[in-house]
Homo-oligomer: A and B are copies of this chain.
Amino acid sequence: MGPGPCNPYPEAIAAMGRPMLGHLDPEFIELLDQTNDRLRQAFRTDNPLTFPVSATGSAGMEAGFVNFVEPGDAVVVGVNGAFGERMCDVARRCGADVIRVDARWGEPVDPQALIDAHPNPKIIALVHAETSTGVRNDVGCLHTGKEDALVLLDCVTSVAGIPVEIDAWCVDIAYSGTQKCLGAPPGLAPFTASPRALDQLVATPQSWYLDLNMIASYVIGEGARAYHHTAPISAIFSLHGALGAVLDEGLESCWARHKACGQALQAGLEDLGFTLFAAEGHRLPQLTSVWIPLERLPDGMDEAGARRALLDRYGIEVGAGLGPVAGKVWRIGCMGHTARPRNVSLLLGALEELFSA
């Protein structure tokens, strides 16, 4: 129950046992095409260029910037947690002129402030679900005021956990991770870019590995695929399996299950006298952040010791706080296969035992 990786769906683990296929084997290409189709359903997009980047979620972020930003481009970034900060770092390494729009950790970013931050930015970038704070940022209204800017959305923790509507929200570039609500092991970054974004691709991005011009010739298309790099076959098997589980359940049902578990957890924490960290109305069900009542811990046990006790005694991992709330806040994930009422009940029971000692 950390902030990811979740427990993968059994279908995702089983799929990794499939016999190996070559990355140009027609059977594998068919499975890759199916995976991309399933990702389009999860992202709610018709974007042809939708595929898993061959590395973890942060490489999806890097692919999102490195293919679209040239030195001197203005990039507006909403920052209310560690992943907004990371976006600034990544964008700067592409030579961007970064304009930050800050909000306090635990609070959402004001979408209008993003729109107002610069008259004609190349990109407006935002983290949909801030894994460092458990806050959901509002995206739905961004496109109405964005003019020509490309909207880039970090969906690492949101896809399959809460509604994500890439096309309806006019998001141009988005990426996710496999180890959160998609319920697969970490290792891939599902990625999508609109045709409008692809019209503005950097010709020769500074990263060869993440160069969408070349990758597109492998991951999509009707005819023969051009080798770029060897695809992580088993990881794609697992994503294919996990997406199968999600879509068999139904995407909306999956959202509803995450919502129910998160609400039960958050209500239970408040019943135990804990104080939630994220602003009310913007709390993610799949990632709950909570102040730790350190004074209620047994003598001699500190914050790290309490997390270790949860792990050793109950087999539960929770995530430490990051940045300004390190040591004070925990981050509790209910994502993917972990988003089950039994896990919520176990954690609440464990916390009751641990904190009333």
Contacts and interface: CB of A to CB of B under 8 A. Distances in A.
A13 interface: yes
Interface stretch (A31-39, A53-61, A273-281): A53-61
A208 B206 CA distance: 12
A22 B2 contact: yes
A56 B229 contact: yes
Contacts of A8: 20, 234
Contacts of A107: none
A130 interface: no
Given A59-B55, A209-B58, A13 B17 contact: yes
Interface stretch (A72-80, A89-97, A113-121, A159-167): A89-97
Interface string A261-305: 000000000000000000000000000000000000000000000
A178 to B, nearest CB: 9
A205 B93 contact: yes
A85 B185 CA distance: 33
Contacts of A179: 230, 233
B5 A233 contact: yes
Q: A13, A205, A209, A320 — which one has the most chain B CB atoms within 10 A of its CB?
A: A209
B25 A317 contact: yes
Given A234-B187, A235-B187, A207 B207 contact: yes
A244 interface: no
A187 B232 contact: yes
A131 to B, nearest CB: 10
Nearest to A238: B234
A181 interface: no
Interface in A197-228: 204-209, 227-228
A23 B4 CA distance: 9
A20 B6 contact: yes
Contact of A16 (B58, B59, B234, B322): B234
Contact of A90 (B177, B208, B319): B208
B94 A206 contact: yes
A141 interface: no
Contacts of A206: 93-94, 206-207
Interface string A32-74: 0000000000000000000000111111011000000000000
Q: A7, A186, A235, A317 — which one has the most chain B CB atoms within 10 A of its CB?
A: A186
Nearest to A89: B208
A86 interface: yes
A56 B177 contact: no
Nearest to A177: B230
A346 interface: no
Contacts of A317: 22, 25
A58 B208 contact: yes
Contacts of A208: 58, 61-62, 86, 89-90, 93
A127 B22 CA distance: 22
9 contacts: A13-B16, A22-B317, A23-B186, A24-B320, A57-B230, A58-B229, A61-B208, A62-B209, A93-B207
